Amino acid sequence: MRATNNLPDGPKMPVFLRRMKLIFQPLEYAEDFAKEYGDSFTLWSRNDSPIVYFSHPQALQQIFTADSSHLDAGRGNRVLQFLLGSNSLILLDGERHQRQRQLLSPPFHGDRMRAYGETIREITQQVSDSWKIGKPFNIRASMQEITLRVILRVVFGLDEGHRFEKLRQLLSSLLDSIGSPLLSAALFFRFMQKDLGAWSPWGRVLRLLEQIDEMIYDLIRERRAESHQNRQDIFTLMMSARYDDGQAMTDEELRDELMTLLIAGHETTASVLTWAFYWVDHLPEVRDKLVRELDTLGDNPDPSTVAKLPYLSAVCQETLRIYPVGMNAFIRIVKSPIEIQGYNLPVGTVILPSIYLAHHREETYPQPKQFRPERFLERQFSPYEYLPFGGGNRRCIGLAFAQYEMKLVLATILSRLQVSFVNKRPVRPVRRSITLALPGGMQAVATPLAKRISAPALV
């Protein structure tokens, strides 16, 4: 007999069918349950533990501001341990999480982050210069090329040569493998995680990881032997950082955090950028306003000036709102009883703060299915209404960098080129590993901007 502890109501769908819907119809999964049960609903796991979804701003505030003695988050991400390692910030809890977060945050803020602006712009220029005018190209592959090269330069200080090419190739292969429908499903069904040799899907993933690990550990050994006085990459900063007790990160800790930055800082940004180009092409009025605003900058503007443009910022914010790359913030697991919005949650309850449902509440965002950047110029949203990077002490440490990169990539390309999708049909997100993305293989065509739009600046 289930002890309900005053939990919200929810569907009684069998676990297997529910997971299949989660994998192959991620939007309908959230929308259908919310339509029937409202802002909060309970699902049940195979071992009869409750899984409670919340999306009301008040509930999200209570979750994100709760004392850490009530909730764990790291252990809810163990599905990613095979990829990121047990020392990843994403998998840590308590004091270890707080200590690691303090050590990793500085490179992603202030002057250090701004110093990466020219790098982002230069790489974007190089990749977009390789497009043949009027010839179709894979838009997502190009965005992945940009974000991977940025992360390899900014995090590792690598920009060319055999090692750069090999690491870039291995990471691309790994992400394409785990983003496939079959291996996306394997993340939810552990029985599919079987190494049946190098030619089996899971076996291929494990061997790619082994090769990437070998390269990362080689780099760590080399950098430890260097004086690296003139290096400004995040890898070097991480090696130089010290905990309060004077200890440096171990090789294993460095490897796991580097993998976390590589995976989280590249794949997700590529997805968001692809969506941004889709919306800008899909809605000509958005493109025209954006081009008018970019036209006010003149040639070669300072990256920090670009990052402050209001309409460009609003386009990026609306892109992150309408189809957030992560549908949910990190799972929280109740470790001592807690009350959220009047519901008493027992120990072991899994809490899922739903970013997607919070971003589609009619009360917060009128006509939520409509892409309308102006809503971010008309009002400010609280961190419990707008949370594309999660919330509380689990908010993504790279959020400022990701937004900065988005703005600079869009501005660098759209100030010179019009990017048009070959297929004009409306699209919905599909699952790519644990994230949402535009369907793969979408083709676009770049053409030089026609005569500059000289209408007055917008809004």
pLDDT, greater one: 78 or 134: 134
Whether 51 and 43 have beta carbons less than 8 Å apart is answered as yes
CB contact burial 84-99 (16+ within 10 A = b; e otherwise): bbebbbbbbbeeebee
pLDDT, greater one: 240 or 366: 366
pLDDT, greater one: 136 or 203: 136
Mean pLDDT of 315-323: 97
Q: Domain-by-domain residue ranges, the chain?
A: 15-448
CB contact burial 234-257 (16+ within 10 A = b; e otherwise): bbbbbbeeeeeeeeebeeebbbbb
Mean pLDDT of 107-128: 85
| pLDDT, tens digit, 9 for 90 and up, residues 252-276 | 999 998 888 888 878 889 999 999 9
pTM: 0.91
Q: Which residue has the tokens 């800082």?
A: 265
- The residue among 182, 168, 137 whose CA lies nearest residue 447 is 137
**% residues pLDDT > 70 (the chain):** 93
pLDDT of residue 340: 95
Mean pLDDT of 62-80: 88
Calpha distance 405→402 (Å, rounded): 5
Can you read off the two tokens belonging to residue 84?
Answer: 């990121």
Calpha distance 384→387 (Å, rounded): 6
pLDDT of residue 178: 75
pLDDT, greater one: 177 or 55: 55
pLDDT of residue 406: 96
**pLDDT for residue 105 is more than 90:** no
- The residue among 129, 135, 165 whose CA lies nearest residue 149 is 165
Average pLDDT, the chain: 87
pLDDT, greater one: 280 or 25: 280
pLDDT of residue 348: 92
Q: Which fold has domain 15-448?
A: Cytochrome p450 (1.10.630)
Calpha distance 48→420 (Å, rounded): 49
Mean pLDDT of 379-397: 93
Confidence band for 5, pLDDT divided at 50, 70 and 90: low
Q: How far apart are the first and last CA of the chain?
A: 59
How many helices and strands, by DSSP H and E, does the chain display? 20, 12
Whether 284 and 131 have beta carbons less than 8 Å apart is answered as no
Can you read off the two tokens belonging to residue 173?
Answer: 């292969």
284-295 vs 267-282: helix crossing angle, rounded to 10: 110
| pLDDT, tens digit, 9 for 90 and up, residues 265-304 | 788 899 999 999 999 999 999 999 999 999 998 778 888 8
**pLDDT for residue 354 is more than 80:** yes
Calpha distance 258→314 (Å, rounded): 31
Tell me the one-letter amino acid at 277.
F
